[in-house]
Amino acid sequence: MKTLMKGNEAIAEAALQAGCRLFFGYPITPSTEIPEYMAKKMKRVGGTFLQAESEVAAINMVYGAAAAGERVMTATSTPGFSLMQEGVSYIFAAELPVVIVDVMRHGPGLGGLGATQADYFQLTKGGGHGDYHPIVLAPATVMEMVELTYLAFDLADEYRNPVILALEGISGQMMEPVEFMPYRPKALPPKTWAATGIGDKPKVNIVSYVLANEAGELHNLHWAKKIERMRAAEQRYDTYRMDDAEFALVAFGISGRIAESAVDILRAEGIRIGLFRPISLWPFPTDGMRKYSRIRGWLSVELSAGQMVDDVRLTVGSGTPVHFFGRQGGMTPDPEDVAEAFKMALHNELNAGGVR
């Protein structure tokens, strides 16, 4: 049965359904519905909710619980996510399965609470130190938040890697109908690597330092292989009216929804345009995007000064024009604004093609 639920609460409930049994977090708007929901409901499943003294402490508590082999999560918002970056780097290096929710608010600095996607670089390029990548998933609807939360826990365990759900504050606050399908865990091997006390097993060490340079390189090469495996297997995207499209908008999360409405406006004007919506921000869905080689011009629509557009350009190469349109500081464009921006940016290509 479908019920109306806020995005943030749906994520928290989905995490519980997926077997998350520990939550550590520090309150920060606009993510607080997640810890509040956990505080209320974690008891129901016999789990632990603990309010940490800071995001720094929270991410390290998460590290400890993951090291002990339990499904664990934290949720925060942009400035708190910045504070967690060191921990995310350690979690990657110690190869621990952890799910992090970043309910983005606009920055830099203390910024404000409005919708933004300006965490894109921090999320996808490694906000902390060293060569690492978390898997980053960007839902656009509350239903998708549930599906991707289920997926996040499986991916984290499968790759022993941090997985981040990234959504805009506006999406976390939004209510939509949602249905909790039964969570069916992926068949995964037992966590024999976890530090649970030796019992009668061999001793386990979970550390992230490698002082000998030769060994350090070997470790990094091992991680690089994992990164390549994730890059190959975990690209996700959705498309809208792309089948016969000559032009495309590319946008994720809330921008994806705004862009979808813009596609309808432009289609009504006779322009053959579609939407390519990345769901995995890392790995960026390059393979899927490259299938649309006939696209004569792209417009990346983002709530930032232009971040994902770099990945679009890297993906489609220099042969095809890639433009950017965005709003910042918490503002969101109307679909009409996106449609206008598209026509301005790709004016020449539109006229040259005579697609009307």
Instruction: Note the residues at the interface with another protein (CB under 8 A).
Output: 2-4, 21-22, 24, 29-30, 48, 50, 52-54, 56-58, 60-70, 72, 86-87, 90, 94, 112-113, 169-170, 173-177, 195-200, 203-209, 254, 257-262, 264, 332, 334-335
Is the link from the previous residue into 278 a cis peptide, with omega within 30 of 0? no
Measured from the CB of residue 72, what is the shortest distance to another protein in angstroms? 7
Closer residue to another protein in complex, CB, 31/315: 31
Report how far apart, in Å, the C-alpha atoms of 79 and of each of 132, 135, 338, 355 are.
20, 20, 28, 45
Closer residue to another protein in complex, CB, 58/145: 58
Give the residue from 224, 253, 241, 263 showing the smallest Cα distance to 342.
263
Give the residue from 121, 118, 124 showing the smallest Cα distance to 137.
124
Report how far apart, in Å, the C-alpha atoms of 238 and of each of 144, 173, 241, 325 are.
11, 23, 10, 20
Measured from the CB of residue 234, what is the shortest distance to another protein in angstroms? 25
Which residues touch 29 (CB under 8 Å, ≥6 apart)? 77, 105, 113, 169
Distance CA 153, CA 43 (A): 20
Measured from the CB of residue 319, what is the shortest distance to another protein in angstroms? 30
Closer residue to another protein in complex, CB, 54/293: 54
Measured from the CB of residue 190, what is the shortest distance to another protein in angstroms? 15
- C-beta neighbour count of 121 within 10 angstroms: 14
Distance CA 220, CA 215 (A): 9
Task: Tell me whether residue 265 is exposed, middle or buried, using C-beta atoms within 10 angstroms of its C-beta: 0 to 12, 13 to 18, 19 or more.
Answer: middle
Closer residue to another protein in complex, CB, 143/295: 143
Measured from the CB of residue 329, what is the shortest distance to another protein in angstroms? 14
CB 167 within 8 A of CB 139: yes
Measured from the CB of residue 300, what is the shortest distance to another protein in angstroms? 17
Closer residue to another protein in complex, CB, 63/120: 63
Structure tokens at 42: 């974690």
Closer residue to another protein in complex, CB, 206/355: 206
Measured from the CB of residue 294, what is the shortest distance to another protein in angstroms? 24
Closer residue to another protein in complex, CB, 85/220: 85
